[in-house]
Structure 1
């Protein structure tokens, strides 16, 4: 079975915790003692129903107490597919955490309260998911039970959001009316909304096509580690381990090594479970080559006629993640792109982007915590990059503070 990674985002009390609890409960992903504890707590609070939001209540308590806010991951599976949920905080002061959670997502679910409609936070969440090139976006209009399952209200929200989304790069946009509390259209179709002709949320998650989203055209293989066993029976073994970042690799394929430009062919592809006939994203494999080439960590293997652009000058959208330190022109940082690490100088800050209004402030001289802007960087050695819109792995990078050795920014090459 393949794995679908999806992120959830929503304003306060939009029902995100209840929705996640409903998915976990209906997919039998919780233990009996967990369910008994939730039922007992629900009774103690005087609730007439089992409050499934309590399944993620630990994270909610953490938020209320102002402790470190981070992305919470949940796991569940159905007979058709495995799922990883990145439960991201939606408040503007936690933009960096939403960027972290959505950066690896195949799909994003944005919850909207049917009573409140499209809010400023809804627009911000949509913009961030499209900025991060999340291929599929689902707008779940929740709490339909509180508006009497009104088709007119659902259509109003859909029209308003569609109008806003036309300004974004939302390629696949789906609208689903739900009630997470009562389970309407979450796992099965709701009898309360006969006017809705689409599928349930879980059916959509199980069947959305994601294989083609992982860039099966451009072969990209950043070398992470060179394997040379010391045991005598393997003294001739030399393998290059890493994660396939794009394309399909097969034994016999001609590849070129960057930065040397030397070409060779793949002799075999090894995995933990033994040799395989092909490798594709996001598999982690070890390549054996027909020729001995000086290859080390940070190098790139690709097709001779389809190579990434080696460059020491890049323009990128940066989400600044450091508290107490600001990004300014002339700042010196460490950049980590795929498996290559180099030093970088901030040449210029072109503008700061308001994630609520999409206004570009070209007079900005710095980026503070959770702010996003476009910058130019000069790198000390060539990086083998693609545009982020083409390949999220070879088009993304992180910035590291040289003194504190902590991540201070995440970038998307444009």
Structure 2
């Protein structure tokens, strides 16, 4: 069955967790005891409704404050498709968690409170989803029940957001008016909004086409682990395991291993319990080669005539995720696919204003949650593509060597 990963985004109290709770409830993806627990907690707090946000806000501090702090992953399925939801926080100080949840998403779901309209955080999340090249975007105008299901309120938000989105790279946009609390247009079409003629949210999620979003041309297998069983039965087995980041691999295909440049053919492709005739993204596989080559973690298996760039000079958009600012001449660790290196920040070219999309070329640093274009120089070549070509081999994270904390996430624009 097809799989769709989607991430929720938007400002505080726009109803992201409630919407996911509604999706889980109406698609019958929760157990009766879970629902009873949520109903009991809601009553004990004096609510006259079931607080569906309690189905996803699992941390004690989240339940106490009524906010989302960490990324909560939830899984459910309908007869048409399986779903992995990343419920991301709306607070500004947790923007880095939103970036984490959206980085692997096929679709971004931005919620807007119909009473408040577009906020700075709504725009920030839309910009980040665009920078992360999330190919499909849904703007859900939530809490329509609190504005009497007004078509004018919906149309005003629709017009404002579509005008804003023309400045961004959003290939597919759908705007849906909903009420997560009441269930309007979430799973079933709403009788309260006869003026809306589009799909319900779950109908759109079930039918949005994502298979063509993945790169099936450029074969990329970052080697994560070399498998050499110790048993006598498999003592000759040598396999190279990893998650296929691009292209299609089949037994008999000519391949090259970087950075050595040695070539061979694919002898077989294994998954957990069997051999397969072909592999495609994002399958986790083990490749066996016809020749015994020196291959280790951090190497890349690709096509001989279609290889990634081996680059040490990287131009990238970076989202900075810690209170201590990013400055030129700073030294950091960098993790790209399965390869680790060290890097020097050569220059900050500009800081991006996420509201106006203005480029501040006089910026000397990037602060917490700020996004900017940065030039890096790595100690060893990274085997990379641009992020536009491949969202896996075109992305990296930056790590503070002293603490081991992830302090930045980047997307590669140019590499040489």
TM-score by length of 2: 0.94
> 8 Å contact 2:140–2:178 — kept in the other structure?
yes
Q: Specify the alignment match of 1:156 in structure 2.
A: 156
166-175 or 360-369, which moves further after superposition? 360-369
Structure 1 residues without counterparts, runs of 5 or longer? none
Q: Does the 8 A contact of 2:178 with 2:186 survive in 1?
A: yes
8 Å contact kept, 1:7–1:88? yes
Q: Name the SS of the counterpart of 1:140 in structure 2.
A: strand
Quote the residue 1:218 is aligned against.
Answer: 218
User: After superposition, where does 1:251-400 map in structure 2 within 5 Å?
Assistant: 251-323=251-323, 325-400=324-399
Structure 1: how far apart are the matches of 2:366 and 2:160? 31
CA spacing shift, 1:238–1:42, aligned 2, 3 Å: closer
Deviation at 1:78, TM superposition (A): 1.7
CA-to-partner distance for each residue in 1:53-92, whole Å, 9 max, x for gaps? 3323545842865999321222222222221211111222
| CA distance in 1: counterparts of 2:253 and 2:289, whole angstroms | 10
User: Could you tell me whether the CA contact under 8 Å between 1:117 and 1:157 is conserved in 2?
Assistant: yes
Q: Deviations over 1:200-241 (max 9, x none)?
A: 101111111111112112111111111122222212211111
Please say if 1:198 is aligned against 2:171.
no
Alignment: residue pair count:
413
Unaligned runs of 5+ in 2: none
Q: Give CA deviations for 1:320-340 in whole Å, capped at 9, x if unaligned.
A: 1233x3221111111111111
> 1:261, 1:169 → 2: CA distance?
35
CA distance in 2, matches of 1:289, 1:58: 45
- Indicate the SS of the match to 1:159: helix
Whether the aligned pair in 2 keeps the contact of 1:395 and 1:413 (CA below 8 Å) is yes
Q: Which whole-Å CA distance do the structure 2 matches of 1:179 and 1:152 have between them? A: 16
Deviation at 1:369, TM superposition (A): 2.1
Deviation at 1:367, TM superposition (A): 1.8
Q: Where do residues 21-32 of structure 1 align in structure 2 (5 Å cutoff)?
A: 21-32=21-32
1:404 alignment counterpart: 403
User: RMSD of the alignment, in Å?
Assistant: 1.9
Deviations along 1:237-280, one digit per CA (max 9) or x if unpaired, are 11111110001111111111111222211110011121001111
Displacement of 1:47 in angstroms is 3.7
* Structure 1: 4+ residue segments shifted above 6 A: none
Match in the other structure for 1:94: 94
Which secondary structure state, in structure 2, belongs to the residue aligned with residue 269 of structure 1?
Answer: strand
Mean Cα deviation higher: 52-61 or 131-140: 52-61
With normalisation by structure 1, the TM-score equals 0.95
Cα distance in 2 for residues equivalent to 1:321 and 1:45: 35
Cα distance, 1:37 vs. partner? 2.3
How many angstroms does 1:386 deviate by?
Answer: 0.7
CA contact (8 A) 1:59 1:72 kept: no
Shift of 1:152: 2.6
Matched ranges for 1:100-179 at <5 A? 100-179=100-179
* CA–CA distance in structure 1, aligned partners of residues 67 and 152 of structure 2: 41
CA distance in 1, matches of 2:173, 2:370: 26
The CA deviation at 1:308 is 0.9
Identify if the C-alpha distance between structure 1 residues 66 and 407 changes in structure 2 by more than 3 Å, giving closer, same or farther: farther
Distance 1:229 1:14 in 2: 51
Secondary structure of the equivalent of 2:56?
A: helix
